[in-house]
Amino acid sequence: MANVVVIGSQWGDEGKGKIVDWLSEKADVVVRFQGGHNAGHTLVINNITYKLSLLPSGIVRPGKLSIIGNGVVIDPWALINEIGTLRGQGVNISPENLVIAENATLILPLHKDLDLKRENALGDAKIGTTGRGIGPAYEDKVGRRAIRIGDLANPDVLDQRVNSLLMHHNALLRGLSSQELKKDTILDHLMEVAPKILPYANTVWRLLDGARQRGNRILFEGAQGVMLDNDHGTYPYVTSSNTVAGQAAAGSGQGSRIIDYVLGITKAYTTRVGSGPFPTEQKNDIGNTLGQRGREFGTVTGRKRRCGWFDAVLVNQAIKISGITGIALTKLDVLDGIEELKVCVGYEIDGERKDYLPASIASQTNIQPIYEILEGWNESTFGARTWVDLPSSAIKYVKRIEELIEAPVALLSTSPEREDTITVHDPFAD
C-alpha cells in the first residue's frame, strides 16, 4: 500500500486541509513533519468548520492515529488550547489517537518575544513572519540549545537545558537593551505544562516503522509551500524549515523509502502572504476579485493574501525540486466568469528569458512575467464532481496547466466541501 506525502507547490495556502482530510479517510496514520503553529489548515466536514494549526488533519476522523513528528516545533500552550477547542467541537483527543515525538523542539514565550522584536526592528524590510516564535525555536534547535519534549520528564536535565538556553538569549537581550529572562520563571512555566504534554510523548520513529511493516497507509502532511522552503524558496522571505517532500522522512524519523507518492497541492491561481517577490501579483481589480472570491485571508493570522495569475514556471520548479508525482488543483471555481485568463510561461530578467526562478533575490525582484492568454468561461464550476460537469474552456485550462508544469492533475477540487472533488488518480492506489 502506498504512503503519500502532501505538500504545497506554491507559497502555502493552497487548500491542503481539505485534500489531506479527503485522503485521511483512506489512511491509517497522519503525520505532521515540519513547521509549527504558523501553519493553518481549515477543514469543512458536514458543515462544521475545524481550524487546525499544530494538530494533523486526521485528528478529526475516528480510528486514525495522528502524529506530530520531530521536524515540528511545538508551542505546548498553543497545542493545549487547540486540543481544548477541538474537544469543544466534539472531537475525541487522547494519547490513543495523538502522539508527539519525544525529540521535537519546544517553542517558548521567549521565542515569540524575540520574533516580534526582531521583525519590528526590520521596519519596511520585515520578512513577514507570523510572530509565533517559529524561527527563533528552529535557531535554538540548530544551535543545540533547544528544549525538547522529552526534557520535560527530567527536572535536572531541564534545569541544565534552560541554563544553556539563557546563556544565549540573555546575551541577545542585553544587546537589544531589553530586560533579561529569569530562569525560575521559565522553569515554573515548563513544569506546569509538562504533565499536560508528556502523556502524548512517544518514540515516533519506532511507531512509524511498525506501522510501515504492518502495511498501514501513512499520510504525511506538510505545511506552507515549496517556495517558502528555507533552502529552495524565495530566500530570505521564507519559513524556517524545509517544506519539500524529502523533509517528510527526516521530520518523522523514516528513511526516504517511506515515500511512495508526492501530491502537490496547487491553487488554480497564485497567492502569497507577507513580504517577498511575487512575479504574477495583480495589484488591481483582478487581484481584488481573486481575493474576494477565494476568501483569501490566512487561517492563522487573518492577514489578507496577495493574489495573482497562475505561475507555471514557479510550480514546474517546485515539482522538480520536490519530486511531485501529481497535483491536486484547487479553487478552479474562483476563476468562473473571468473572460480572459493569463498563465505565466516564462520570466524576462534584464532582457534575458528564463524558464526558472533564480536564487538571487535581486533577480527575483526584477522579474517581468511572460504570459500566455487562455479563454475563460462563464459557466459555474462550483461543486463539480465529474469532468462532464466542467465547461470545455475550464478543461482546456486544466490540460494546459498540466502541459506547462509537466505533471498530471490527480485531483481537482471545486469547493471547500470534501465531496466536491474530481478524482483522476487516487494517490493511495500506487
Give the Cα separation of 206 and 13 in Å (integer).
31
| Distance in angstroms (rounded) separating the CA atoms of residues 409 and 422 | 10
- CA nearest neighbour of 71 among 254, 250, 239: 250
- Report the distance separating Cα 79 and Cα 108, nearest Å: 12
Q: Which residues pair with 52 in a beta bridge?
A: 41
| CB contact at 8 A, 324 and 318 | yes
d(CA 205, CA 184): 33
CA distance 190 to 165: 13
Cis, bond preceding 236 (omega within 30 deg of 0): yes
Label each residue of 302-341 as H, E or C: CCECEEECEEHHHHHHHHHHHCCCEEEEECHHHHCCCCEE
The span from the CA of 344 to the CA of 189, in Å, is: 50
First vs last C-alpha separation in the chain: 7
Q: What distance in Å separates the CA atoms of residue 72 and residue 89, rounded to the nearest whole number?
A: 25
CA–CA separation, 125 vs 408, rounded Å? 38
Q: How far is CA 375 from CA 304, 307, 329, 391, in A?
A: 28, 20, 18, 11
Could you tell me how far CA 186 lies from the centroid of its own chain?
29
Whether residue 166 contacts residue 183, with contact meaning beta carbons closer than 8 Å, is answered with: yes
C-alpha to C-alpha distance for 329 and 137, rounded to whole angstroms: 33
CB of 241 closer than 8 Å to CB of 230: yes
Active-site residue list: 13, 41
Q: For residue 270, what are the CA distances in angstroms to 61, 216, 316? A: 30, 35, 13
